[in-house]
Amino acid sequence: MHMVSDEQLMQDIVGKNRAAFEQLYDRYVRLVYSYALKSTRDEQAARDVVQLVFARLWTTERGYNAQKGRFVSWLLTVTRNITIDYIRRERKHGASVSIEPQMWEMIPDPKDDPETLVDRRMFKEKIEMAYAHLSENQIELIEQVYWQGYTLGQIAEMKREPLGTIKSRLHQTLKRLRRYLGPEGGDEA
């Protein structure tokens, strides 16, 4: 049986092909749910995030671009962004949702083939090695922005520092991370 690529499925989904959407959903629902559950630590919130992620995939006009990286990385980025938006919205309404602070723990356990297991393990090791080159303040900033969902303005207020200083620090931190993660950013095939 020929397995349709994620890229082809996304092209079909942009064209509103329901069967392609169902196939992609079946392929990645557990990964998206696992990621959302580890981020929110709340089953209902994770289900809500899954619904939002797949609604976004169905309604997207542009979709996935294979030249910018692997599909699973793109999907997890979409999931992370939607999860952060969800958490921020819940915070505004007074609900408490806790976040797992360490990046590598948020990479869901692989369910499929050994290649995926090896890719994820190598990516985890790259992140851990890159973190070793960051100061505690840089690690804290990355976690606050990307994993705890704070805006740069909120971080500036908490630290009582100018917004420009926080932006500059984040820029330098990301530049340093990029250097240690390599040009492929962990997305090699």
39-97 pLDDT per residue, tens: 888 888 899 999 999 998 888 877 777 777 788 888 888 898 899 888 888 777 654 44
pTM above the 0.95 mark? no
Q: What are phi and psi for residue 185, nearest 5 degrees?
A: 60, 30
Check whether 99 has a pLDDT greater than 50: no
Task: Give residue 107's pLDDT.
Answer: 46
| Pair of tokens at residue 124 | 């985890």
Question: How far separated are the first and last CA of the chain, in Å rounded?
Answer: 22
Which domains can be identified in the chain, with CATH numbers?
1-99 (1.10.1740.10), 111-189 (1.10.10.10)
